[in-house]
Structure 1
Amino acid sequence: MGWTETFELTGLVLMLAVLAPLAGLYARRRWLSSRGGVFDCALRMRNGSWATGVARYAAEELQWFRIFSFSARPKLVLRREHTMSIGRRSPEDAEAVVLFSDDQIIRLRNRDTTDETVWELAMNPQSVTGLMSWLEAAPPGGDRYSGLERD
């Protein structure tokens, strides 16, 4: 094998190394979209940073997936009957740099008062409306009050 064949083979391997992960991310996004309503949604992580992702409605769950991951499993699952909204706010100056310009931040927590975990999701206003509608459409007999107040 001459140097030109080696050079071409190396170029092909490098091109595949770049294109294969991109094709995998694209295929994953298409797969997620085919299984329910998907929308862009950032999640505040425990360390305070924001992670870009997508969320989807799956029956009685809101599932959140990292955008740059090959995992088919959601990183966060919020069950509708256990989740309630505790507020909405605009991004602060430092947050506005990493989030989309029109994003709003929704604060959610577990209806169980012993669980103090609060999740913050950033999304566009149309997705906020969809999330609030989904939360309020609780099964019959459930508490439909979401406690939404603007900060």
Structure 2
Amino acid sequence: MLIVEWIGIGVLALLLAFGVLVLRRALFVRAGGTIRLSVRTSSAVPERGWSNGLGRFVGDDLRWYRIFSFALRPKRTLTRTGLVIVSRRSPAGQEAYSLPEDWVILRCSWPGRETVEIAMAATTVTGFLSWLESAPPGEVSTRLGRESTR
């Protein structure tokens, strides 16, 4: 009888985990302002370290959630205050295997903070730049660096 109880507990745990993932996805879809977004979490190895996720615009923040995570809190929050887009490029080398072909990689930095690379669909970049530029005057200093050719 002990084995049947453990199997029941295991099935219940799997159903609960599945329910949390479904609930999390439903909250994102219903809330709107959600985009597919990859963030380079580690720059230790060139062209690697990309993690898939969803970005959600909330006021002055772009909150990034990993796709394969049970966490209800964002893994990383990008604030548009002081955000500078240093460069824009297409995926190259090993990145071409982990990111879709039509995606664009933006290298972003803030004064006194780390530089981060984000990747999104080329059609999404327009919306991202609109969000970035829609801040009240004087709060955002955006600058687009040299753009690499495709």
Smaller-chain TM-score bracket:
0.7 to 0.9
Instruction: Give runs of aligned pairs for residues 2-151 of structure 1, distance below 5 A.
Output: 6=4, 14-46=10-42, 47=44, 48-110=48-110, 112=111, 114-115=112-113, 117-151=114-148
When Rg is computed on C-alpha atoms for both structures, the one with the higher figure is: 1
Give secondary structure in 2 for the equivalent of 1:106. strand
Deviations 1:105-133 (A, max 9, x none): 111110x2x43x11111111121111111
TM-score (ref. length: structure 2): 0.81
Name the aligned partner's letter for residue 107 of structure 2: R
Q: Over aligned residue pairs, what C-alpha RMSD do you find? A: 2.3
C-alpha contact 1:137 1:144 (8 A) present in aligned 2: no
Percent identity reads: 34
**TM-score, scaled relative to structure 1:** 0.80
CA distance in 2 between partners of 1:17 and 1:100 (Å): 34
- Give how far 1:24 is off: 1.5
Higher helix content, 1 or 2: 1
- Structure 1, unpaired ranges of 5+: none
The whole-number CA distance in structure 1 between the counterparts of 2:62 and 2:145 is: 18
